[in-house]
Amino acid sequence: MSWNTGAERCNGYTEEEILGEHYSIFHSEEDRAAGLPEIALQTAAIAGRFESEGWRLRKDQTRFWAHVVIDPVFNEQLELIGFAKVARDLTERKLAEAELATSEAQFRLIIQSVTDYAIYVLDPHGYVTTWNAGAEQISGYTAEEIIGENFARFFTAENIAAGVHLEVLATATRDGRFEKEGWQVRKNGTRYWANVIIDAMREDTGTLVGFAKATRDITEKMAAQTALDVKQNELFQSQKVEIVGQLTGGFAHDFNNLLMVMLGSLEMLQNRIPPSPEVTQLLDNAIQSGKRGTALIERMLAFSRQEQTHLQALDAGLLVNGMADLMARSIGPMIRLEIKVPTDLPQVRSDTNQLSSALLNLAVNARDAMPNGGSLIIEAEEHKVREGERPSLPVGNYVCLSVCDSGAGMSAETLACATQPFFTTKPAGKGTGLGLAMVATLLEHSGGKLVLRSATGAGTVVELWLPVAAMELEAPLEAKQNMGLAAGARGYRILAIDDDELVLRNTVLMLKALGHTVMTVTSGEEALYLIGDDPQIDLVLTDYAMPLMNGSELADIAWDIRPSLPIILATGYPKLPFGANPALPLIPKPFSQHQLSEMIDRSQRRGSQPAA
């Protein structure tokens, strides 16, 4: 009955085209078949208004989403004379809503399909309102179990007691986001290391409506990072060990030369001065200090693996009981020492000197842990290790030497680091941090294991697991070398060679004190001239490290001149470089007059032969 320009623009019909047509022309065939146009008019007439939204048709048969309001029109006699209809094109809004609904559905689908992240929503007070599959997989709760519950149940008891869950929401509310890593608790009570992100959700007006929380289980990642940190620390420690080895090997030669002169001179002086308690004590102190310097070099070389460990069969019971007096003097009268080592233990495989040093080092460590006194017990037992009993030890027979003290003990953190090189809890200047590391190295070389047990305030137990020696090692190497040796003759004609004149003079004094005739030179070239010119030379004692020609090269040429000439190689290096002649008898510096005498006797008895 009437038509405005808005209707024409919305529907496409002109006034001439639409006046007189039934308004159902704007409905689809489905709506007309269902009687919707009539129902709308009936509803408006009865209820006083009809309002709805739905698809309508334009003149070109395209659809648009319309918001429709139909009001009845009455005359003065309240007779229904028609309807007033208002329609508004909301197609763009409808499409936007549909797109948003599709997007939200896709987002919900994505969230629900994520299984390696727990993603859920909290209300402003921390109660769970949504729950995805990842949250169920990580925490163990189903949506039915957790929706409506407070997220505090994911925190550990100590964190809840400290109010951490409240602080988390307060931080997210204040800053807009909270992110941290920490322990969280699953439904079954187990813990996992989680990365947690909480974002505050606000309306356009700024009103807080809740929090979006994303949690990821990174326990494996943390374990891998911890393992990586351990490996990096081990690498760092091994690099320090390598540096120590390089430095030690570099200065060992010169330092041993100095000790050689000092100890040799003191030993000869001790034999020449008249007996005097005061002077004798002073000389003994100086000699003991020099020997301690030698032992220090040996331990550092052994630790840095530049010195070969001399494994041999040894009687642990005899060794420990023989050290009782030394250990008692070392730990002092305030500590009660008990040695419970049977005398019928089987022999074990180890290095006698290094094992003795290790036991003394452990006793001193125990003393330092008991400043007010206490007890130190050294025990030994034989054990048979079977398959799977001790994963760190191969199957076999062992003797376990245990050193137990009643001292302060160690915390779990200190215990974990105790055998690491350079780790020490002692004050500066009181420890190198190499003691336990060197003991552990000795046990590894011996085929055994160092085991530590300790707790704060409960003392410390150090176990040295030493493998029982095989039959072929029954006799110690030193004993085999000395079997059947008789005192050698005196009065040899000896050629001594060393480029260090101070060392050479000291060696000459030792040799002359032993009754030998000595000729000296300071280079290999001079020595070869004398060897070729003087057939009366009985033995050559030469330093290894000399300019132009080292001792091994000198021996090779000397044997070409005199094949049976005994030659002894003296060196302050921890080990000879590759290529040195292995047939050469070797005496390490610093050596004593007695050691020199034994080496000369041995060399004269068996002679020296060139390498094949």
The verdict on 455 and 562 lying in the same domain is no
Query: Could you tell me if residue 139 is inside a domain?
Result: yes
The verdict on 64 and 33 lying in the same domain is yes
Spatial distance between the Cα atoms of 240 and 246, rounded to a whole number of angstroms: 10
Name residue 404's beta-bridge partners: 377, 461
> For 393, what's the count of Cα atoms within 13 Å in the CB-facing half-sphere?
24
Place of tokens 């059947």: 484
- Structural domain of residue 263, as residue ranges? 228-303
Contacts of 162 (CB under 8 A, 6+ apart): none
Instruction: Write out the two tokens for 424.
Output: 């020490």
Single out the residue of 436, 460, 455, 439 nearest to residue 374, CA to CA.
460
- Number of helices and strands (H, E) in the chain? 21, 19
Query: Which range among 278-282, 333-337, 357-361 shows the weakest confidence by mean pLDDT?
Result: 278-282
Query: Could you tell me if residue 325 is inside a domain?
Result: yes
Q: What does the pLDDT look like over 460-516, one tens digit per residue?
A: 898 999 999 875 444 443 333 333 223 344 589 999 999 888 888 888 888 988 889
Q: What CATH number did the domain enclosing 252 receive?
A: 1.10.287.130
The verdict on 538 and 452 lying in the same domain is no
Q: Among the three residues 430, 446, 477, which one is the final residue of a domain in this structure?
A: 477
B/e letters for 142-175, b = 16+ CB within 10 Å, e = fewer, are eeeebeeeebbebbeeebeeeeebeebbebbeee
The verdict on 192 and 244 lying in the same domain is no
E strand or H helix at 552: helix 551-561
Name residue 70's beta-bridge partners: 50, 85
Q: Any idea what the Cα angle at residue 575 is, between residues 574 and 578, rounded to 5°?
A: 150
Local confidence band at 308 (pLDDT 50, 70, 90 cut-offs)? low
The verdict on 378 and 510 lying in the same domain is no
Local confidence band at 228 (pLDDT 50, 70, 90 cut-offs)? confident
The verdict on 420 and 326 lying in the same domain is yes
Q: What is the pLDDT of residue 295?
A: 66
Phi, psi for residue 216 in degrees, rounded to 5: -125, 135
Query: Could you tell me if residue 469 is inside a domain?
Result: yes
End-to-end alpha-carbon separation of the chain, Å? Answer: 130
The verdict on 329 and 421 lying in the same domain is yes
Contacts of 599 (CB under 8 A, 6+ apart): 568, 585, 587, 591
Q: What CATH number did the domain enclosing 11 receive?
A: 3.30.450.20
Alpha helices for 332-454 (secondary structure H): 352-368, 412-417, 435-446
Query: Could you tell me if residue 103 is inside a domain?
Result: no
User: What is residue 451's three-state secondary structure?
Assistant: strand
Place of tokens 């191969």: 394
- Say whether pLDDT at 260 is over 70: yes
User: What is residue 591's three-state secondary structure?
Assistant: coil
Q: Among the three residues 248, 271, 303, which one is the final residue of a domain in this structure?
A: 303
Single out the residue of 307, 261, 294 nearest to residue 498, CA to CA.
261
Long-range Cβ pairs for the range 82-86 (8 Å, 24+): 82/1, 83/41, 83/44, 83/45, 85/23
Q: Are 392 and 430 a contacting pair, CB within 8 Å?
A: no
Q: What CATH number did the domain enclosing 591 receive?
A: 3.40.50.2300
Q: Are 573 and 252 a contacting pair, CB within 8 Å?
A: yes
Q: What is the pLDDT of residue 135?
A: 86
Place of tokens 């150090």: 462
The verdict on 253 and 239 lying in the same domain is yes
Q: Are 385 and 393 a contacting pair, CB within 8 Å?
A: yes
Query: Could you tell me if residue 376 is inside a domain?
Result: yes
Query: Could you tell me if residue 97 is inside a domain?
Result: no
What is the DSSP-derived secondary structure letter of residue 487? P
The verdict on 334 and 471 lying in the same domain is yes
Q: What does the pLDDT look like over 21-79, one tens digit per residue?
A: 999 999 989 999 999 999 999 999 999 999 999 999 999 999 999 999 999 999 988 88
Q: What does the pLDDT look like over 75-117, one tens digit per residue?
A: 988 889 999 999 998 888 888 787 777 766 666 666 666 677 8
Query: Could you tell me if residue 49 is inside a domain?
Result: yes
The verdict on 294 and 423 lying in the same domain is no
Q: How far is CA 521 from the centre of its chain?
A: 53
- Say whether pLDDT at 540 is over 90: yes
Instruction: Write out the two tokens for 85.
Output: 């209809």
Q: Among the three residues 252, 286, 303, which one is the final residue of a domain in this structure?
A: 303
Spatial distance between the Cα atoms of 71 and 69, rounded to a whole number of angstroms: 7
Domain tally, the chain: 5
As to burial, measured by CB atoms within 10 angstroms (0-12 exposed, 13-18 middle, 19+ buried), residue 314 is: buried
Query: Could you tell me if residue 148 is inside a domain?
Result: yes
Other beta carbons less than 10 A from residue 532's beta carbon: 13
Instruction: Write out the two tokens for 256.
Output: 């041993």
The verdict on 128 and 154 lying in the same domain is yes
Q: What CATH number did the domain enclosing 365 receive?
A: 3.30.565.10
Q: What does the pLDDT look like over 263-275, one tens digit per residue?
A: 878 877 877 777 7
The verdict on 285 and 321 lying in the same domain is no
Query: Average pLDDT of 369-386?
Result: 89
Contacts of 42 (CB under 8 A, 6+ apart): none
